[in-house]
């Protein structure tokens, strides 16, 4: 059974540095939480918040991408629909590539959670698997255990098939 969360249900918070907003979709109910799924709207260049002890998987879903500058001169390139994994401990400074972006963020504690993010282009049918599975519908027809997932909405649950139509695209988050 899947629970569908629409954008109207997302919890929106402005960033302290004024560089964007976060739309929290779901989070672990524990305290402290062990994982959080959100969409960020990045409107200016600037530092990322640190999440000590956490791992981040960032997937650009709108815009051309971000260059994340790390200490020592390293650059992580976040590009559209290519999930990028990096440490939440890393003090990175974000630079937009040709304007604002939106990205799906999974932040999780690797001591307790195994996680992955993948982009699925249709047509495709995949099993949700034994753990918690989340699906963000980006385009076209996506169904979760026979329930249609509206574009921009996020479905979360266990068991059942995820069907992605001919021109469908979704981002799949797996937590175990």
- Number of CB atoms found within 10 A of residue 167's CB: 11
Between CA 2 and CA 160 the distance in angstroms is: 9
pLDDT at 31: 83
Cα–Cα distance for residue pair 62/59, rounded to 1 Å: 9
Predicted pLDDT at 129:
80
- The whole-number pLDDT of residue 140 equals 96
With b for 16 or more beta-carbon neighbours within 10 A and e for fewer, the 92-102 pattern comes to bebebeeeebb
pLDDT at res. 32: 84
Distance CA(172)–CA(9), nearest Å, equals 19
Average pLDDT of adjacent 10-residue blocks, the chain of 176 residues: 93 85 93 94 91 96 96 90 94 93 97 96 91 96 92 93 96 96
Contact (Cβ atoms closer than 8 angstroms) between residue 9 and residue 26: no
For residue 61, give the 3-state DSSP assignment: strand
* Contact call for residues 163 and 120 (beta carbons, < 8 A): no
**Cβ contact 132:157 at 8 Å:** yes
């Amino acid at each position: 059974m899947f629970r569908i969360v629409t954008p109207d249900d997302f919890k929106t918070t402005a960033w302290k540095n004024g560089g964007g907003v976060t739309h929290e979709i779901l989070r672990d109910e524990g305290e402290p939480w062990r994982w959080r799924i959100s969409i960020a709207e990045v409107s200016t260049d600037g530092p990322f918040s640190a999440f000590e002890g956490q791992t981040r998987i960032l997937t650009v879903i709108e815009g051309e991408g971000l260059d994340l500058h790390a200490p020592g001169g390293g650059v992580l390139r976040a590009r559209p629909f290519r999930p990028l994994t990096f440490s939440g401990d890393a003090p990175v400074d974000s630079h937009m590539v040709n304007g604002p972006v939106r990205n799906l963020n999974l932040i999780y504690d690797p001591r307790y959670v195994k996680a992955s993010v993948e982009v699925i282009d249709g047509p495709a049918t995949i099993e949700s698997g034994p753990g918690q599975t989340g699906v963000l519908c980006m385009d076209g027809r996506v169904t979760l255990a026979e329930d249609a997932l509206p574009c921009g909405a996020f479905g979360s649950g266990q068991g059942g098939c995820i069907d992605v139509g001919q021109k469908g695209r979704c981002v799949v988050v797996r937590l175990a």
